[in-house]
A and B are shown apart, each in its own frame.
Chain A
Amino acid sequence: MSDVIVLDQLVVRFGRFVAVDRLSLSVRKGELFGFLGPNGAGKTTTIRVLIGGRAPSSGRVEVAGLRMPQQFDRIKPLFGYVPDTENHIEEFSGRENLELFARLYGIPLSEVGRVLAKLELSEAANLPVRAYSKGMRRKLLIAREILHRPRILYLDEPTANLDAHSTELVRRMLRELVADGTTVFITTHDMQEVEQICDRVAILCRGKLVECDTPTNFVTRHAERKVAVQYERSGEVLRERLDLDAEPERNRLADIVRHESCVRLHSQEFQFEDVFLKLTGQAYT
């Protein structure tokens, strides 16, 4: 698979503050790429550079084989961008918003109805956007950006404020887009989402790339085998969490099983969230 997005030694500075520090990564065609990091890690800044909203301080940025920002006018029809804050035309209805963008992209207005239906917004289509709930506004934003069937779709926290049903709807839709060959570049704080839908994930911390791999490889490589044990002694219930990779803690578990009255014993499976916290230096101790 060819690389659709290439970042090479990307640096973005705000005065003296370095928001993105020598970031190098590539995203393949038809891949659902997760871009993670704690708040202020530089995720949104990176997306802004990718959409041409900010010029890089140094480094090379290529989108679909074209240089950004030099070839911005040629790149921009190729992608859709769902920002982290809604940017609808508030005075218009949902349908009017989508129709305006459909006209600008030169696509038939019948597409508007199809996209609205896809995101379950048909009933509210003629209401002014200012009357929409946060979730509906978010879905309308996604609808607007998939209207022209972009080759690349950037999404900045797309499922924020969505209920469980809508979240599932959006995730399914993203998988469908990827199946159709669209490259999806997503930032999110929902680790479950990352594990469920992303093909590859890059973790960013303080502007630097920490690691980039598939979610399964992340968990396999960084998994910690731990056991939670609950036992009773002199009428009192006690709890302990033990690491099976450490010899003394393994012995301690054997002691508890052998000599104490064990009530519950659970293996603690390592989640992607634990990997994320471990890698970004914020893991619970």
Chain B
Amino acid sequence: MIPRPRMLAILVGREARRLRKNPSALLLLGLLTAIAVLLSLSRPGPKPQMNCWVVYSEASPWTDLLRQRAANNPRIRVVSMAEVKSLSGFRVYPPHDCVIELVGQVSNLPAPPEPDQNGQIENLPHDQKINLRFLYPGNDPNVIAPYLQWFWPATAEHFGSTAPFAATTLPITGTSCGAVMERLKQSSITELMTEEFIATILLIIVLFVTCCHLQVSFTSQDRERGTLTALVLTPASTTELLLSRYIFHLSLGWTACAVIIGILRPVAFAHPLFWVTTALASIGLVSVGTVMAALARTQAAAGVLSLCYMLFGGVIFYLATKFSAFGSLKDASFESYSLPLLFLSLKQNLPLEKAPGLINLAGLVAAWTVAASWLFRQRGWR
């Protein structure tokens, strides 16, 4: 029988009114949204624009090149150390600006030796190296990164790959800090990871709550009370009843995801992979919820089954990292594809055809949906 839109509208409306009268579910959704809002508020905002002083101890063709490259950027000023004010032997810079100090006799440098296999030159005596000091305000070395992106290409253009530098990076307040590039690299990756990882985890939780947990809870409650039987005995068909539940939980899940992503990572709205993965993952979760509600006779049993599903999934994921034998079992769960795909879709706009495992995800979700539909008709409402 073809589902009738009027019946679907009535049944979806009933689910929506029921959710409205279910404060605990609404509270949970509100809590997740509040977490997203808090995360977005605690995210560092855009830094105020700062200038960068490139200060050299001795003029050379290199500093001329730097000055030439800085001509188009009003925030970069290439000056001689003599032009900088000093106090008690310490140079004084404006408090919120970055500084790149080039200290050394560039003109007296000997011909650089051949670099080692790593491209490093370590055999020069210290006094024959140019000392670079990167100074930045506050404790976040990332603030100097845009100027380094300007500085290193211009420097490499002059010296090639054999530039004899000894570099240190210091907060402008004078506290010491670790190796420059490594720290920069680590911080930026960690920051990027955290934001997208948290967004992915929040999405999965939201999808699990709206599509799986609520579906299990509502359906098993209806079944235990006998309401499902009463609804099935009306002119609404079992297909319409099941479809209305899918429509309601998917709409709820997608709306909640859109809110979370709108708060945390709005750029993902433009990523087709995000929508496709969210759609597949949510359909899969509603199907899993339907299967669990059909297998469990009571709401309490369905709740336990839902918890077992989560724990079992976690154990399988853990075992798969330790023993290869569990790898295939992990691959049989659609979460092993939906999680990384969601993460990827938040990170970059990957074309659908290049998304790894998307076909597998679609196949597994289809299998769960067929199983859910069959089980619901056979025993889900009785």
Q: Which residues of A contact B (CB under 8 A)?
A: 51-54, 73, 76-77, 79, 81, 83, 85-92, 96, 100-101, 103-106, 144
A104 lies within 8 A of B18 (CB): no
Complex CA–CA separation, A86 to B21 (angstroms)? 20
Q: Which 6 A/B pairs are nearest by Cβ-Cβ distance?
A: A87-B226, A91-B21, A104-B234, A103-B10, A87-B230, A87-B227
B224-253 interface code vs A (CB 8 A; 1 in, 0 out): 011101111111110000000000000000
CB-CB < 8 A to A81: which residues of B? 230, 233
Complex CA–CA separation, A101 to B234 (angstroms)? 7
Query: If the complex has contacts A87-B225, A89-B227, are A54 and B382 also in contact, measured as CB distance less than 8 A?
Result: yes
Q: Which of B10, B18, B232, B236 contacts A89 (CB 8 A)?
A: B18
Q: Which residue of B lies closest to A53 (CB)?
A: B382
Number of interface residues of B (CB under 8 A): 22
Question: Chain B interface secondary structure, helix, strand, loop or mixed?
Answer: helix
Shortest beta-carbon distance from A75 to chain B in Å: 10
Complex CA–CA separation, A92 to B14 (angstroms)? 10
Q: Which of A76, A85, A88, A100 contacts B14 (CB 8 A)?
A: A100
Q: Which of A83, A87, A88, A104 contacts B235 (CB 8 A)?
A: A104
Starting from the known contacts A76-B232, A77-B235, A91-B18, 11 additional A-B residue pairs (CB-CB under 8 Å) come to A51-B229, A53-B382, A73-B237, A77-B234, A87-B225, A87-B227, A88-B227, A89-B227, A92-B21, A104-B231, A144-B230
A105 lies within 8 A of B234 (CB): yes
Q: Which residue of A lies closest to B230 (CB)?
A: A87
- Cross-chain pairs A/B with CB under 8 angstroms, 7 sampled: A76-B232, A76-B235, A88-B225, A88-B227, A91-B21, A91-B22, A101-B230
CB-CB < 8 A to B382: which residues of A? 53-54
Complex CA–CA separation, A252 to B230 (angstroms)? 60
B17 sits at the interface (CB 8 A): yes
CB-CB < 8 A to B230: which residues of A? 81, 87, 101, 144
Q: Which residues of B contact A (CB under 8 A)?
A: 1, 7, 10-11, 14, 17-18, 21-22, 225-227, 229-237, 382
B236 lies within 8 A of A87 (CB): no
CB-CB < 8 A to A106: which residues of B? 235
Shortest beta-carbon distance from A211 to chain B in Å: 30
Shortest beta-carbon distance from A48 to chain B in Å: 8
Complex CA–CA separation, A164 to B226 (angstroms)? 27
Query: If the complex has contacts A103-B10, A104-B10, are A51 and B226 also in contact, measured as CB distance less than 8 A?
Result: no
CB-CB < 8 A to A85: which residues of B? 226
B225 lies within 8 A of A90 (CB): yes
CB-CB < 8 A to A73: which residues of B? 1, 237
Q: Which residue of A lies closest to B221 (CB)?
A: A90
Shortest beta-carbon distance from B70 to chain A in Å: 68
Shortest beta-carbon distance from B375 to chain A in Å: 16
Complex CA–CA separation, A53 to B380 (angstroms)? 11
A53 lies within 8 A of B227 (CB): no
CB-CB < 8 A to A105: which residues of B? 234-235
CB-CB < 8 A to A96: which residues of B? 17
CB-CB < 8 A to B227: which residues of A? 87-89
